[in-house]
Amino acid sequence: MSAWKFSSCLAAPMDRFINLRRLSGTDYHSQTRLLEYFDRFLVQQGFNRPHITCEITDSYQQGLTTLAPRTQGNRMCVLRQFCEYLAGSDPQSYVPGPLRMIRSHQAHQPYIYNSRQLQALLAASSRLLPLGSLRPHTYRTLLGLLYSTGIRIGEAMALNLEDVQSSTQWLYIAEGKFRKTRWVALSSSTGRALQHYIDTRFKSAPHSPDSPLLLNERRRRLCHPSVNQTFRGLLQKCDIPHNKRTGPRIHDLRHTFAVHRLLAWYRQGHDVNARLPALATYMGHVDISSTHIYLQPTAELLEQVHQRFHNYYLHNIDPKGGQS
């Protein structure tokens, strides 16, 4: 029996499309979630035609204009793949054209949290209601894990107890983006904090190895809507200006991790270019070009780059420091 449930007049072909994706080994979970938005739209519109029309896809796309450009692109990309699948057996089924590339000024600009803001977010998460419950422990652990390891929010929520190797301080990402698995090393402080959470969690939550690591108030796995809503509340409590559409977002903790890791390497005198492939692997990227997106210039980072170039110039190009 399928784990998903479509309800529109196109539910049957949607089921076949997702099953095909599942059998091919692609990330059908995310495609299912994105296709469910279109399925609900068809139900709301009372659509009952035997094949997809230009009018219904245009109407759906128009309703996405309030979302971030990348979100619009993801939803329309999956819809287009589904339409191409239908057109293979039904020539009358309409296939929308690909969306135009998102212009750089329209793309979301990552927000890099500073140390003071990170400490404030952790402190605020510890005061979440209801006091004395597992919820504040869960969110403090979640935010700390996202910042200290740079893993994706979806990867964090998908963790099970068996994925945490506290004794060796490793974290197993069973199914990351593009279905890539990897091991993530934990610092000593992160490992201790995670073990403390697990000990607290064991007092009132499931102990089986395959049970979720991070739990909500109902002792179930965390989900994106509630996490995002809670995070926006934390931003407000910490007086961090934010907007529901433009952020800052919880995903920006991953950007912050990458920038702060780079900053630390500069301060420690390491060869940053030589270490970037290791950072790409650690973050679960296919190649280093994906990592470059996360390396946003900040005042602190630019200062370190300038200082390194200045020192290189003094010692290698002008050893006498410009003196004659």
Q: Is there a domain that residue 138 lies in?
A: yes
Residues 237 and 260 in one domain: no
Of 210, 225, 250, the one marking the end of a domain is: 250
Those residues whose C-beta lies under 8 Å from the C-beta of residue 144, and which sit 6 or more positions away, are 122, 190, 193
Please check whether residues 275 and 242 belong to one and the same domain: no
Q: Kindly report the pTM of this predicted structure.
A: 0.69
Whole-number Å distance between alpha carbons of 184 and 171: 5
CB–CB of 284/180 below 8 Å? yes
The enclosing domain of 246 has a CATH number of: 1.10.443.10
Alpha helices by DSSP H, listed for the chain, are 11-24, 28-45, 54-62, 69-87, 115-126, 135-149, 153-157, 188-201, 224-237, 252-267, 272-282, 288-292, 299-312
Could you tell me the residue range of the domain that residue 32 belongs to? 11-87
In a domain, 210, yes or no: yes
The pLDDT of residue 212: 95
pLDDT tens for residues 177-210?
656 789 999 999 999 999 999 999 999 888 899 9
The mean pLDDT of the chain is: 87
Band of pLDDT at residue 324, cut at 50, 70 and 90 = very low
Q: What is the mean pLDDT of residues 213-237?
A: 94
Same-domain status, 120 and 217:
yes
- Residue 26: inside a domain: yes
Query: Is residue 27 a part of any domain in this protein?
Result: yes
The number of domains in the chain is: 3
Instruction: Render pLDDT for 9-63 as a digit per residue (tens, 0 to 9).
Output: 999 999 999 999 888 766 678 889 899 999 999 999 999 998 899 999 999 999 9
Instruction: Examine the domain organization and report whether 166 and 289 are in the same domain.
Output: no
One domain, residues 162 and 134: yes
Q: Are residues 143 and 83 in the same domain?
A: no
Q: Are residues 151 and 196 in the same domain?
A: yes
161 found inside a domain: yes
Residues 190 and 304 both lie in one domain = no
User: Would 96 be classed as within a structural domain?
Assistant: no
pLDDT(2) > 50: no
Q: What is the pLDDT of residues 226-251, one digit of tens each?
A: 999 999 999 999 999 998 777 899 99
| DSSP conformational letter for 215 | B
Asked if residue 265 and residue 238 are part of one domain, the reply reads no
Local confidence band at 289 (pLDDT 50, 70, 90 cut-offs): confident
Residue 312 confidence class, pLDDT cut points 50, 70, 90: low
Q: What is the pLDDT of residue 101?
A: 47
Tens digits of residue pLDDT in 94-150: 999 876 544 444 557 899 999 999 999 999 999 999 989 999 999 999 999 999 999
% residues pLDDT > 70 (the chain): 89
In contact, 179 and 282? CB cutoff 8 Å: no
